[in-house]
Amino acid sequence: MSTEVGTLRLRGRRTDVWSLVIFAGFAIVVVFLIYPLFDIFRYSFLDKVTATFSLSNWKTFFSKAYYLRAFWHSILIALLTTFFSMVLGIPLAFFTTRYRIRGTNLLTTLSVLALLSPTFIGAYSWITMLGRNGFLRLLFQSIGINLPPIYGAFGIVLADSLQYYPFISLMTAGALMTIDRSLEEASENLGARSVKTFFSVTLPMVLPSLTGGALIVFMMSLSNFGTPMIIGGNYLVLPTLAYNLYTSEISQTPGMASTVSIILMLCASVVIVLQQWLSSRRKYASMLVNRPVVKRLKGVKSFLAHLLCYFIVFFSTLPLAVIVYYSFRKTSGPVFKPGFSLDSYRQIFFDVPKTVMNSFLYSVIAVILIAFVGTLLGFVIARKRNAAVRVLDPLLMIPYMVPGTVLGIGFIVAFNRPPLILSGTAIIIILTYFIRRLPYSVRSAASILKQIDPALEEAGINLGSPPGRTFRTITLPLMRGGIISGAIMSWVTSMNELSASILLYVGKTMTMPIKIYLSVADGYFGTASAMSTILLVVTGVAMFIVNKYFNRGSETFIAA
Amino acid sequence: MASIQIVDLEKHFGEVRALSGINLEIEKGEFFTLLGPSGCGKTTLLRTIAGFYHQDKGDVYIDGELINNVPAYQRNTGMVFQNYAVFPHMTVFENVAYGLRVRKLSRDEVSTKVAAALKSVHLEGYEQRTPDKLSGGQQQRVGLARAMAIQPRVLLFDEPLSNLDAKLRIEMREEIRAVQKSLGITSIYVTHDQEEALVISDRIAVMNQGVIQQIGKPWEIYTNPQNTFVAYFVGKINMLTMQLGEGAGQGLRHATLGNLAFIIPAEGTENIPEVIVAFRPEDVIEAAREGSQNEIVGTLKTVSFMGSLARFELDVEGQEITIDRHRPRETDMPQRGAAVSFAVPTRSMLLFDPKTGHRIGKGAK
């Protein structure tokens, strides 16, 4: 009914503006996604030595145990991480939504902080705790328990699960909170016990959100680069394998790195497609009339429920606390000394102020671009669905299924030769941030617009306000909160981006995550802790602003 | 000169014909209603007048000015929306002032006009409230005040009461009517509620499948429907398809359906084999005696006591017939399954051609 408002708006000289936006959307997709991805595709079919078409890379991948092992490692890690995230996330969601747990808001905030913190910080923190001389390992040793080595699968799954379980707990809690009380009451009224009700009514209602969360965890773990890079040791997964191959193939054609990238991207695509299909298929539109009851527990039961919830969240934020603690320890070079000081911070600001500056500068520029382009494209997608837009919409979602490592390799192979040479510039880093966040921004702008009743814009026009003025005085103010909170989330993820930028940086374009990774690799834990703490504070402040000023709940963070 | 004039309007959505052959003239100050089931094109017509849709063919004039190519924001029509469309990020005052500020009125003029508009919808003192603090009825009053404040050439109502509860709906429709009459603004009102249309309108256009079926005063639409659709849609009506028989003299004729034998007006039935005989539930009378003229005998299927009237559903020759008895007494209420008999006065019959659905005989145009 309302689609014609868009047409009306587009009549006359405004046609050019929105056509331009659509054209720009296609240009972005073609130049910064299709071109680099196609380049990877092409390289995977080029022989390393002769540089002619061949299947040699693919043959190598499927015949050498070294490569296949990384594939199976990736799958195994993702499965285990998903499993343990559910073990942590489901009880937390259930207890915090169905029973009165004191400090639920604090628990949610802390788990979101763990979720949004840079992936490599958790990994690195576990090394300080459970590494060869980690204090927890020594502690356990003193009471006779020998923990398995942290480097390898154990460490990756530990760090990943504790980072990603909030996807499960937040999405499940969201679903649990929106099940109408009367559905469970109806079940009990029809004679089902509460256990039966849980399994035959509550759980099936929550299942779509739960599986949605599980697939996101699987996907995140599959494409995570930072954690396995820092804590994986010789245990290679696809992203670290691709990175290693690329850095060792630096003087030749990046054939194997490209092949591994394609395989990684295919895995990711399968998961994304599955997730999209599931989320479109099983969504129970329930009219929430009666909110679910939050029961009060008494005595021991209450104590145990609190203990469980606090233990899960404490366990996941422990690595962050340890990092902050170490950042204030006295250091001498790579060695920690007794006592506290601001040495590590001083060192950052004297030695690498440029790195800190770069991180802020690049991410801010990227975010301005993301918010601007994302809003315009989101508007086109929500309000102007013509044939071109219907093609553009899914194309804009490609970055969802491109792991950072793959995008990084694509960018470097595509943009270090004419016609577009960008390698070594700040622009290529900013573009990486931009492309990786663009789909989130487009989606969120479009979904905000879908929630704005087109009748509001019509009312503005009907009252005599021209389309431009209507957009400015009605549409934009209604979108503003969503755009800004989305932009803040984009800013945080850009600040914390490692997997693509580590392939693209040169000395002068180094950013904080890269510096942290290098410091950890060199054993300079003090510097790494201080920088990690800065990133954590940035993440926390951003979360606080979004929560406080834009009244956006945890959905915003999951969407991020 | 008519306030609104619509000539041969046509509109398609893809393959679907939403409007065709629409011709209308609405007088200055008139309250004109577009009535019809959902999907009949009434909202499309309203939105075409507002300029949100552009017609494929035909002309729209407001106060004699052809506005086909005038954009929506320059048409000066005040629209009241079904879901209120009150701007959520503005106060009540800012909402009502919006159109005035667009028109670059001075600050004083804006305040005066907003105050007057809010007064006429009884919302004085609500200026600084935000819409989320208002009830649905209050929000719709803001919507009405906002549309009136710009002194539009025509007020357009798009099912403005359909989201309100029954009691409020009746209250609001009287208020809308009162405000409209006091200001004398030409109004076009879209609704699917036939009772609302009958109460509120000066004239009604009944629409179906993109075509206007009949235009008339509420009284005419109800008592003199021009086709079976209008008869069905406005009010309740019984229809029996009967075989035509011999003439009965004095311009009358026999018609039968099974054991049912009616004497009906003969006018217009000359060249058709069958006729639809229609009559309103409230026009049926008690049969004076057994075998009296136009008697209907049937089995009582349901009795619904509705206070001021009792509604009987009868099975007559396999057809369902509805009969209303006003001021029912307890002794008048037969039991379900009872055999009952009533009579239909010939003068209250409406005849339709079963092939075309068009009205025939007396009163047909």
Residues B228 and B356: beta-carbon distance below 8 Å: no
The answer on pLDDT for B46 being more than 90 is yes
Asked if the C-beta of A476 comes within 8 angstroms of chain B's C-beta atoms, the answer is no
pLDDT of residue A12: 43
Same domain for A420 and A310: no
Tell me, yes or no, whether A261 lies in a domain: yes
Q: How confident is the model at residue A102 (pLDDT cuts 50, 70, 90)?
A: confident
User: Are B314 and B298 spatial neighbours (Cβ–Cβ below 8 Å)?
Assistant: yes
Positive or negative: CA dihedral B152, B158, B164, B165: positive
Nearest by CB to A478, which of B76, B89, B98? B89
pLDDT band at A487 (very low <50, low <70, confident <90, very high): confident
pLDDT in tens, A196-227: 888 888 888 888 888 888 988 999 999 999 89
**Do the Cβ atoms of B72 and A8 come within 8 Å?**
yes
Residue A473's alpha-carbon distances to A456, A476, A478, B96, B335, in angstroms, are: 11, 7, 9, 14, 65
- What number of CA atoms fall less than 13 Å from residue A201's CA on the CB side? 21
Do the domain assignments include residue A206? no
Residue B99 contacts residue B145 (beta carbons within 8 Å): no
> d(Cα A132, Cα A229) in Å, to the nearest integer?
17
Measuring CA to CA, which residue among A163, A125, A74, A89 is closest to residue A403? A74
Query: Which of A46-55, A269-278, A287-296, A499-508 has the weakest average pLDDT?
Result: A287-296
Q: Which class for A336: exposed (0-12), middle (13-18), buried (19 or more C-beta within 10 A)?
A: middle
Instruction: Tell whether A470 and A512 lie within a shared domain.
Output: yes
* Minimal C-alpha gap between B343 and chain A (Å): 48
On whether any CB of chain A is under 8 Å from the CB of B134, the answer is no
What does the domain layout of chain B look like in residue ranges? 4-232, 236-360
Judge: B103–A456 Cβ closer than 8 Å, yes or no.
Answer: no
Q: Which two tokens stand for residue B16?
A: 């679907």
Q: How far is A443 from chain B (nearest CA, A)?
A: 23
**Best mutation target, B13, B45, B52, B84, to test chain A (most A CBs within 10 A):** B52
Contact B83 A453 (CB under 8 A): yes
B-chain residue closest to A10, CA distance: B71
What is the structure's pLDDT at A115?
87
Quick one: A112 exposed, middle or buried, by C-beta within 10 A (0-12, 13-18, 19+)?
A: buried
Question: Across the interface, do A462 and B102 touch by the CB < 8 Å criterion?
Answer: no
- Reported as a single tens digit per residue, the pLDDT across A510-559 is 999 999 888 888 878 888 888 899 998 988 888 888 877 765 555 555 55
In chain A, which residues have their Cβ closer than 8 Å to the Cβ of B143?
A: 459
Q: Is A195 on the interface with B (CB under 8 A)?
A: no
Instruction: Give the end of a domain, one of A282, A306, A323.
Output: A323
B49, two tokens: 């007048």
Q: Which residue has the tokens 């506005």?
A: B67
Higher pLDDT, residue B228 or A383: B228
pLDDT in tens, B127-139: 999 998 899 899 9
**Nearest 5°: phi and psi at B207?**
-120, 150
Buried b (16+ CB within 10 A) or exposed e, A236-254: bbbbbbbbbbbeebeeebb
Q: In this predicted structure, what is the pLDDT of residue A48? A: 73
Sign of CA dihedral B320, B323, B324, B325: negative
Segment A342-354, tens digit of pLDDT: 878 888 888 788 8
Q: What is the mean pLDDT of chain A?
A: 85
Which of the four pLDDT bands, split at 50, 70 and 90, describes residue A434? very high
- Distance of alpha carbon A68 from alpha carbon A74, whole angstroms: 10
The CA distances from residue A524 to A353, A529, B230, in Å, are 17, 9, 86
Please judge whether A469 and B88 are an interchain contact, meaning their C-beta atoms are less than 8 angstroms apart: no
- The number of folded domains in chain A is 2
- Look at residue A286 in the predicted model and tell me its pLDDT: 56
* Per-residue model confidence (pLDDT) at position A544: 81
By Cβ distance, the residue of B43, B72, B103 closest to A462 is B72
Interface residue A463 vs chain B (CB under 8 A):
yes
Average pLDDT over residues A324-346: 80
Distance CA A158, CA A314 (A): 14
Instruction: Count other Cβ atoms within 10 Å, centred on residue B299.
Output: 13
A286 sits in which H/E element:
none
Is the minimum CB–CB distance between B72 and chain A shorter than 8 Å? yes
- CA-nearest of B107, B180, B95, B113 to B149 is B113
- Do B81 and A459 count as a contact with CB atoms less than 8 A apart? yes
Residue type, A315: F
Q: What is the span of the domain harbouring residue A245?
A: 49-182+217-323
| B52 closest CB neighbour out of A5, A469, A474 | A5
- d(C-alpha A6, C-alpha A335), whole Å: 63
Whether A114 maps to a domain, the answer reads yes
Contact B72 A469 (CB under 8 A): no
Task: Tell whether A5 lies on the interface with B, counting CB pairs under 8 A.
Answer: yes
- Whether the per-residue pLDDT at B316 is higher than 50: the answer is yes
A199/A150 Cα distance (integer angstroms):
37
Residues 6+ apart with CB under 8 A from B231: B225, B237, B239, B278, B350, B352
Pairing of strands B350-352, B359-360: antiparallel
pLDDT in tens, A281-301: 655 655 566 777 788 888 888
Predicted local distance difference test score (pLDDT) of residue A287: 58
d(CA A353, CA A457): 48
Question: Closest-CA residue in chain A for B152?
Answer: A463
B102–A1: do the CB atoms touch at under 8 Å?
A: no
Instruction: Quickly tell me which residue has 């196609």 as its tokens.
Output: A38
CA dist., res. A232 & res. A549, Å (int)? 39
pLDDT value of position B56 = 94
For residue A460, give the nearest of B128, B51, B129 by alpha carbon. B51
Q: Tell me if A8 and B71 make a contact (CB, 8 A cut-off).
A: yes
pLDDT band of residue A84 (cuts 50, 70, 90) is: very high
- Provide, as residue numbers in chain B, all residues whose Cβ is less than 8 Å from the Cβ of A470: 73
**C-alpha gyration radius of chain B:** 25
**Residue A489 is assigned to a structural domain of this protein:** yes
Q: Which residues of A touch B50 (CB under 8 A)?
A: 458, 462
Q: Please check whether residues A16 and A126 belong to one and the same domain.
A: no
> How many other β-carbons are positioned within 10 Å of the β-carbon of residue A162?
27
Structure tokens at A486: 């989305």
pLDDT at B326: 85
Contacts of residue A115, defined as CB under 8 A and 6 or more positions apart, other chains included, come to A163, A164, A166, A167, A557
Q: What is the pLDDT of residue B236?
A: 92
A482 touches chain B (CB under 8 A): no
Q: Is the pLDDT of residue B225 over 50?
A: yes
* Architecture (CATH level 2) of domain B4-232: 3-Layer(aba) Sandwich (3.40)
- Contact A453/B at CB under 8 A: yes
Same domain, A290 and A371: no
Say whether pLDDT at B213 is over 90.
yes
- Helix ranges (H only) for B184-249 are 194-200, 218-223, 228-233
Average the pLDDT over B9-13 and give the result. 94
Q: Which of A284, A303, A323 represents a domain boundary (last residue)?
A: A323
ipTM of the complex in this document: 0.83
State the Cα–Cα distance between residues A400 and A268, nearest whole angstrom.
Answer: 9
Please give the structure tokens belonging to residue B209: 């499948």
Residue A192 in any domain: the answer is no
Residues A73, A31, single domain; the answer is no
Question: Which two three-digit tokens encode residue A18?
Answer: 């929105």
* One domain for residues A342 and A382: yes
pLDDT reported for residue A4:
40
Give the one of B53, B81, B99 whose C-beta lies nearest to A455's C-beta.
B81
Contact state of B150 with A463 under an 8 Å Cβ cutoff = yes
- Residue A6: pLDDT over 80: no
- The verdict on A249 and A350 lying in the same domain is no
Cβ <8 Å between B85 and A8: no
pLDDT band per the 50, 70, 90 thresholds, residue B283? very high
Nearest-Cα distance to chain A for B86, in Å, is 7
Residue A522 and residue A507 in one domain? yes
- CA pair distance A518, A527, nearest whole angstrom: 10
Nearest to A118, CA basis, from A541, A534, A553, A556: A534
Burial of residue B252 (CB within 10 Å: 0-12, 13-18, 19+) is middle
Whether residues B102 and A465 touch (CB distance < 8 A) is answered with yes
> Cα distance from B7 to chain A (closest Cα, Å)?
22
Pairing verdict, β A335-340 and B77-80: unpaired
Query: Taking CB atoms and an 8 Å cutoff, what residues of chain A touch B71?
Result: 8, 11, 466
Instruction: From chain A, pick out residues whose CB is under 8 angstroms from the CB of B79.
Output: 458-459, 462
- Mean pLDDT over B166-186 rounds to 90
Let me know whether A225 and A372 are in one domain: no
What distance in Å separates the CA atoms of residue A517 and residue A127, rounded to the nearest whole number? 13
Considering only the beta carbons, identify the residue of A456, A462, A464 that sits closest to B87: A456
A8 has a chain B CB within 8 A of its CB: yes
**Residue B85: which of A462, A380, A481 has the closest Cα?**
A462
Q: Are A368 and A485 in the same domain?
A: yes
* CB-nearest partner of A461 from B54, B72, B156: B72
Question: For position A1, what pLDDT does the model report?
Answer: 37
For strands B211-216 and B238-249, give the pairing: unpaired
| DSSP classification of residue A147 | P
The two tokens of residue A248 are: 């060792």
Q: Which of A303, A323, A343 is the last residue of a domain?
A: A323
Pick the CATH number of B236-360 from 3.40.50.720, 1.10.260.40, 3.30.9.10, 2.40.50.100: 2.40.50.100
Classify residue A196: in a domain, yes or no: no
Q: From A8, which residue of chain B is nearest by alpha-carbon distance?
A: B52
CA A10 to CA A19: how far, in whole Å? 9
Question: What distance in Å separates the CA atoms of residue B246 and residue B256, rounded to the nearest whole number?
Answer: 10
CB-CB contact of B325 with B312 (8 Å): yes
When pLDDT is cut at 50, 70 and 90, the band that residue A83 belongs to is very high
B46 touches chain A (CB under 8 A): no
Using a CB–CB cutoff of 8 Å, tell me whether A196 touches chain B.
no
pLDDT at A14 over 80: no
Residue A242 lies in a domain: yes
Q: Does A19 touch chain B (CB under 8 A)?
A: no
The pLDDT score that the predictor gives to residue A251 is 60
Residue A72: CB partners within 8 Å, gap ≥ 6?
none
Question: How sure is the predictor about A47, in pLDDT bands with cuts at 50, 70 and 90?
Answer: confident
CB contact under 8 A, A455 and B88: no
Looking at the fold, whether A35 and A80 belong to one and the same domain comes out as no
Return the number of CB contacts < 8 Å for A and B.
78
Containing H/E element for B209?
Answer: none
Kindly report the CATH number assigned to the domain that includes residue A255: 1.10.3720.10
Flag the least confident range among A32-36, A50-54, A470-474, B120-124: A50-54
Other residues' Cβ atoms within 10 Å of the Cβ of residue B356: 11
| Six token digits for residue B306 | 């509705």
**What distance in Å separates the CA atoms of residue A542 and residue A109, rounded to the nearest whole number?**
12
Record: contact B146-A461, CB cut-off 8 A: no
- Model pTM? 0.77
* Virtual torsion, Cα A511, A513, A516, A521, nearest 10 deg: -110
Residue range B127-152: average pLDDT?
A: 92
- Do the beta carbons of residue A26 and residue A392 sit within 8 Å? yes
Instruction: Flag if A464 and B99 touch (Cβ within 8 Å).
Output: yes
Q: Are residues A349 and A292 in the same domain?
A: no
Among A181-195, A382-396, A428-442, A447-461, the range scoring the smallest mean pLDDT is A181-195
Tokens of B349: 């019959």
- What is the residue-averaged pLDDT of chain B? 91
Is the CB of A387 inside 8 Å of chain B's CB atoms? no
Would you call A458 and B89 a contact, using CB atoms and an 8 Å cutoff? no
Look at residue A313 and tell me if it is in a domain.
Answer: yes
Average pLDDT over residues A441-450: 86
